[in-house]
């Protein structure tokens, strides 16, 4: 059992367990039984005086609260954050960022954005990555996404944007998809969205796991030191397991095979002790450099390329505990961009300014009143003393005689800093000079919508570009208005004329003109996810927590499987034996082997790699369509495929390898690894080659040979 932290201990008062208990009403009165209501005669009408039945049904009637207007579907986890060192001490008074001896409890909620609470996980969408740090200076919320830019530049546009991406108003179709008319109508009319749309059409919108995606604070924030000096900052989360995505065709299959794919993955990893880890990084920009960039730091549709300002690692977050009650913890958690601690402040980014209003406002309706910060998950680990009183759901019994400032009857308490020597922990807003005309207009420095969209496109490897092209075609083909399709391709032409023409041809609209406006060849190596990836090169690729499937049946080489299983488990991967039915099979050695899951209850898309073992395996794959499909689908999705002993012949007959009859080891460039050896003789190099191929995540060589414009 991991060490309990201050947040976890503080939740004890709210925890309750019904073990060894009697059923009671809300008033603690024991109930005789709850299977029949109180009636006048066994066949008579139900009586109003049945207070138990009324209480039970009434509570049930009121169980639902409004889902979040965006980010409705999420999954949460507890953990901790620790700064690496004191390096940020010159920049910020935020102790949790600068004191390596401190362990700060956190709660993280990952989410999709567009779908309802019950929608599937593997949709094409942005992912939320919101972290609540329960610091000794109060709660700090870093409400981030897995993409570093946003669709709009000013928060006043947020309702417009969200109305456009949510399902069509008449039919409420499609659920959790941007592939429909209103979204794309918004896009062509708001070219400011194009940079983000490039990210959305890329594999970033399809994370393999919440544990394998980056997080970005998006806005430029401000760190403030003890003297009140400011430094601009961009926040980055980097997953230790690397940043990996699914393929779109897989996502669609997984949405049916396991709609909870990402939340299950998070839950299972934590239960298995494979704790997700993220490194916090910062890009620091001196205020003197504010105007040194060819974009505006206040514009949330722009990144600061890492080539211009490197990301410095400053701390590590580990998620090590699952919640105990989804509603109480994950649903009721309330994030707010304005939950900041001393040393962290805002900038005038107009999107951030609107968020600072919206998050508090939305909780008032969602959580039913102004006391939501008293809910166990939202309470800070430090004492709270305000003069705020009453309201729905007030949980605090305030015994102080006064609730106003200034007072003498309450000894002047709670004290503000004017009454006492100011402690370092007081929040002081950054002092800045502000002047200007009252004006409803956007800064001209926000006008370039295409250069960074192109930067992103240029930074993609060929296969990633192909996926973006395919995504545009898929999405636009769902748009019924030809007019909108055409206008969108014209916008894409500002980013890359070749891309736009390819898309136009596929979606049946005239090829747009070549506008050439933003054409440049700049690229940033941190934007691609294909290994090797800048920033991740130092960490050796890992297969920790990867799910690998071995197809098994009676007569399979169980000795070889055991050898492989122990090597994979030493690397932290999970091997599932997939058989024709659940239960046990008899291996070649005569031993009984437990099947993890039957072929009809699982799917190839739920695994990262597939193994065809030796022994009597051919019959399974050649006579069982599901087994054959399982193997070929893994190959189709560029996953590592391995075979040993008689399994090699199976691959050969299915056209997956052209290795000679008895290879000692062939590890081809397409990620197919085979050896004729089996049992105890399984070569270590074979196992190593397979592990290396799985660590690559996908073997894109298989795809690049088939790329078409």
Q: Pick the stretch among 139-147, 383-391, 526-534, 646-654 that binds ligand HDE (CB under 6 A).
A: 139-147
Of 354 and 530, CB closest to ligand HDE:
354
Out of 139, 145, 322, 378, the active site residue is 145
Of 335 and 700, CB closest to ligand HDE:
335
Query: Smallest gap, in angstroms, from Cβ of residue 461 to ligand HDE?
Result: 26
246 binds ligand HDE (CB under 6 A): no
DSSP-H helix ranges across 157-247: 158-165, 181-189, 194-201
Confirm if 260 and 67 have CB atoms less than 8 A apart: no
How many Cβ atoms sit within 10 Å of the Cβ of residue 296? 20
Confirm if 632 and 655 have CB atoms less than 8 A apart: no
355 binds ligand HDE (CB under 6 A): yes
Cα torsion 269, 275, 280, 281: sign: negative
Residue of minimal Cβ distance to ligand HDE: 128
DSSP string, 340-352: --TTEE----HHH
215 φ, ψ (degrees, to nearest 5): -130, 150
- Tell me the Ramachandran region of residue 37: left when phi exceeds 0, alpha when psi lies from -120 to 50, beta otherwise: beta
What are the percentages of helix, strand and coil residues in the chain, rounded to 5?
35, 15, 50
359 is in an annotated binding site: yes
Tokens of 55: 């209480």
Tell me which of 359, 472, 607, 644 binds ligand HDE, using CB under 6 A.
Answer: 359
Cα torsion 390, 391, 396, 397 to 10°: value is: 30
Query: Smallest gap, in angstroms, from Cβ of residue 335 to ligand HDE?
Result: 4
Q: Pick the stretch among 142-150, 239-247, 257-265, 619-627 that binds ligand HDE (CB under 6 A).
A: 142-150
Confirm if 555 and 587 have CB atoms less than 8 A apart: yes
358 binds ligand HDE (CB under 6 A): yes
Q: What span, in angstroms and rounded, lies between the C-alpha atoms of 197 and 195?
A: 5
155 binds ligand HDE (CB under 6 A): yes
Of 365 and 424, CB closest to ligand HDE:
365
Tell me which of 111, 131, 177, 524 binds ligand HDE, using CB under 6 A.
Answer: 111
Of 68 and 166, CB closest to ligand HDE:
68
Is omega for the bond preceding 174 within 30 degrees of 0, making it cis?
yes
Query: Smallest gap, in angstroms, from Cβ of residue 381 to ligand HDE?
Result: 19
The closest alpha carbon to 454, from 252, 165, 197, 113, belongs to 197
328 binds ligand HDE (CB under 6 A): no
**Beta pairing class for 277-286 and 312-321:** antiparallel
Is 145 catalytic? The answer is: yes
Q: What span, in angstroms and rounded, lies between the C-alpha atoms of 226 and 153?
A: 31
Q: What span, in angstroms and rounded, lies between the C-alpha atoms of 311 and 280?
A: 9
Q: Pick the stretch among 138-146, 394-402, 449-457, 583-591 that binds ligand HDE (CB under 6 A).
A: 138-146
Of 102 and 360, CB closest to ligand HDE:
360
Q: Pick the stretch among 222-230, 354-362, 409-417, 454-462 that binds ligand HDE (CB under 6 A).
A: 354-362
Q: What span, in angstroms and rounded, lies between the C-alpha atoms of 709 and 99?
A: 52
68 binds ligand HDE (CB under 6 A): yes
Query: Smallest gap, in angstroms, from Cβ of residue 157 to ligand HDE?
Result: 8
442 is in an annotated binding site: no
Q: What span, in angstroms and rounded, lies between the C-alpha atoms of 660 and 652?
A: 9
Out of 20, 33, 62, 71, the active site residue is 71
Cα torsion 476, 482, 484, 486: sign: positive
Tell me which of 241, 270, 351, 567 binds ligand HDE, using CB under 6 A.
Answer: 351
Of 364 and 415, CB closest to ligand HDE:
364
Q: Pick the stretch among 140-148, 281-289, 445-453, 581-589 that binds ligand HDE (CB under 6 A).
A: 140-148
Of 137 and 339, CB closest to ligand HDE:
339
323 binds ligand HDE (CB under 6 A): no
143 binds ligand HDE (CB under 6 A): yes
Residues 6+ apart with CB under 8 A from 490: 188, 500, 512, 513, 515
Query: Smallest gap, in angstroms, from Cβ of residue 358 to ligand HDE?
Result: 4
- Contact letters (x/-) for ligand HDE, 263-302, by CB under 6 A? -------------------------------------x--
Among positions 24-53, residues that touch ligand HDE (CB under 6 A) are: none
Tell me which of 53, 88, 176, 218 binds ligand HDE, using CB under 6 A.
Answer: 218
130 binds ligand HDE (CB under 6 A): yes
Q: How many residues at the interface with ligand HDE, by CB under 6 A?
A: 25
Residues 6+ apart with CB under 8 A from 412: 406, 419
Tell me which of 7, 52, 74, 303 binds ligand HDE, using CB under 6 A.
Answer: 74
Cα torsion 592, 595, 600, 601 to 10°: value is: 150
Of 130 and 609, CB closest to ligand HDE:
130
**Beta pairing class for 230-239 and 277-286:** antiparallel
Tokens of 581: 């039915």
Q: Pick the stretch among 226-234, 355-363, 420-428, 631-639 that binds ligand HDE (CB under 6 A).
A: 355-363
Tell me which of 150, 184, 275, 346 binds ligand HDE, using CB under 6 A.
Answer: 150
Of 354 and 666, CB closest to ligand HDE:
354
Residue 178 Cα distances to 28, 174, 252, angstroms: 49, 8, 14
- Contact letters (x/-) for ligand HDE, 363-402, by CB under 6 A? ----------------------------------------
Confirm if 239 and 210 have CB atoms less than 8 A apart: no
Tell me which of 105, 115, 128, 242 binds ligand HDE, using CB under 6 A.
Answer: 128
The residue behind tokens 């020597």 is 421
Measure CA 676 to chain center. Answer: 41
Q: Pick the stretch among 144-152, 165-173, 191-199, 633-641 that binds ligand HDE (CB under 6 A).
A: 144-152
144 binds ligand HDE (CB under 6 A): yes
68 is in an annotated binding site: yes
Where b means 16+ CB within 10 Å and e means fewer, 309-344 reads: bebeebbbbbbbbbbeeeebbbbbbbbbbebbbbbb
Of 73 and 467, CB closest to ligand HDE:
73
**Beta pairing class for 609-612 and 127-135:** unpaired
The residue behind tokens 């689908």 is 633
Is 520 in a helix, a strand, or coil? Answer: coil
109 binds ligand HDE (CB under 6 A): yes
Instruction: Write out the H or E segment, with its range, that includes residue 255.
Output: helix 248-257
Is 71 catalytic? The answer is: yes
Q: What span, in angstroms and rounded, lies between the C-alpha atoms of 295 and 306?
A: 14
Taking the CA of residue 637 as centre, how many other CA atoms within 13 Å lie in the half-sphere pointing to its CB? 27
531 is in an annotated binding site: no
Is 254 in a helix, a strand, or coil? Answer: helix
Q: Pick the stretch among 20-28, 66-74, 387-395, 446-454 that binds ligand HDE (CB under 6 A).
A: 66-74
Confirm if 561 and 617 have CB atoms less than 8 A apart: no
190 binds ligand HDE (CB under 6 A): no
Query: Smallest gap, in angstroms, from Cβ of residue 143 to ligand HDE?
Result: 5
Extract the annotated binding site for heme.
68, 109, 158, 355, 359, 366
Residues with catalytic roles: 71, 145
Residues that bind ligand HDE (CB under 6 A): 68-71, 74, 109, 111, 128, 130, 143-145, 150, 155, 158, 218, 300, 334-335, 351, 354-355, 358-359, 362
Extract the annotated binding site.
68, 109, 158, 355, 359, 366
């Amino acid at each position: 059992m991991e060490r309990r932290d201050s947040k976890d201990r503080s939740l004890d008062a709210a925890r309750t367990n019904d073990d060894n208990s009697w059923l009671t009403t809300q008033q603690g009165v024991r109930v005789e039984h709850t299977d029949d209501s109180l009636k006048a005669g066994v066949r008579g009408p139900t009586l109003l005086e049945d207070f138990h039945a009324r209480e039970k049904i009434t509570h049930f009637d009121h169980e639902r609260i409004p889902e979040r207007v965006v980010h409705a579907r999420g999954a949460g986890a507890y953990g901790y954050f620790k700064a690496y060192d004191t390096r940020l001490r010159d920049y910020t008074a935020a102790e949790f960022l600068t004191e390596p001896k401190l362990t700060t409890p956190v709660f993280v909620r990952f989410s999709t954005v567009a779908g309802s609470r019950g929608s599937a996980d593997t949709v094409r969408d942005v992912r939320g990555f919101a972290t609540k740090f329960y610091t000794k200076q109060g709660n700090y919320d870093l409400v981030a996404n897995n993409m570093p830019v946003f669709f709009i530049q000013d928060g006043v546009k947020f309702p417009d944007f969200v109305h456009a991406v949510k399902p069509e108003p008449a039919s409420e179709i499609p659920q959790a998809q941007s592939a429909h008319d209103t979204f794309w109508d918004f896009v062509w009319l708001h070219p400011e969205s194009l940079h983000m749309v490039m990210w959305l059409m890329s594999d970033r919108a399809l994370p393999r796991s919440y544990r394998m995606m980056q997080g970005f604070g998006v806005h430029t924030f401000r760190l403030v030191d003890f003297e009140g000096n400011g430094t601009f900052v961009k926040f980055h989360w980097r997953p230790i397991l690397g940043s990996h995505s699914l393929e779109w065709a897989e996502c669609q299959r997984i949405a049916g095979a396991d709609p909870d794919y990402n939340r299950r993955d998070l839950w299972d990893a934590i239960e298995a002790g494979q704790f997700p880890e993220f490194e916090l990084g910062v890009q620091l920009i001196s205020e003197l450099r504010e105007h040194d960039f060819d974009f505006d730091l206040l514009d949330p549709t722009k990144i600061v390329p890492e080539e211009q300002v490197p990301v410095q690692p400053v701390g590590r977050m580990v998620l090590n505990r699952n919640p105990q009650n989804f509603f109480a913890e994950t649903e009721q958690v309330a994030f707010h961009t304005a939950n900041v601690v001393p040393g962290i402040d805002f900038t005038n980014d107009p999107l951030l300014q609107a968020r600072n209003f919206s998050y508090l406002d939305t909780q008032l309706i969602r959580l039913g009143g102004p006391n939501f910060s008293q809910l166990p998950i939202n309470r800070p680990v430090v004492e709270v003393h305000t003069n705020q009183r009453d309201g729905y759901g007030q949980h605090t019994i305030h015994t102080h005689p006064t609730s106003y400032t200034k007072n003498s009857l309450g000894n002047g308490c709670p004290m503000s800093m004017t009454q006492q020597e100011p402690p370092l922990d007081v929040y002081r807003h950054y002092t800045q000079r502000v002047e200007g005309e009252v004006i409803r207009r956007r800064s001209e420095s926000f006008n370039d919508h295409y250069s960074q969209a192109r930067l992103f496109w240029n930074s993609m490897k060929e296969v990633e570009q192909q996926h973006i092209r395919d995504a545009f075609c898929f999405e636009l083909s769902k748009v019924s208005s030809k007019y909108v399709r055409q206008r969108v391709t014209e916008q894409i032409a500002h980013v890359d004329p070749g891309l736009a023409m390819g898309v136009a041809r596929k979606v049946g609209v005239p090829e747009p003109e070549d506008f050439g406006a933003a054409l440049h060849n700049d690229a940033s190596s941190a934007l691609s996810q294909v290994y090797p990836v800048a920033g991740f090169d130092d960490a050796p690729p890992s297969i920790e927590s990867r799910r690998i499937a071995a197809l098994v049946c009676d007569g399979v080489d169980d000795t070889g499987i055991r050898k492989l299983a122990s090597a994979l488990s030493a690397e932290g991967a999970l091997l599932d034996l997939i058989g024709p039915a659940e239960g046990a099979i008899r291996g070649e050695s005569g031993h009984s082997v437990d099947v993890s899951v039957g072929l009809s209850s699982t799917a190839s898309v739920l695994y990262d790699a597939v193994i065809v073992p030796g022994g009597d395996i051919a019959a399974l794959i050649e006579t069982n369509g599901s087994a054959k499909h399982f193997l070929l689908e893994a190959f189709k999705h560029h996953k590592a495929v391995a075979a040993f002993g008689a399994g090699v012949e199976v691959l050969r007959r299915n056209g997956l390898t052209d290795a000679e009859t008895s290879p000692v080891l062939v590890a081809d460039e397409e990620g197919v690894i085979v050896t004729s050896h089996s049992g105890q003789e399984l070569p270590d190099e074979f196992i190593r080659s397979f592990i290396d191929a799985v660590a690559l995540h996908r073997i894109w060589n298989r795809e690049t040979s088939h790329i078409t414009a």
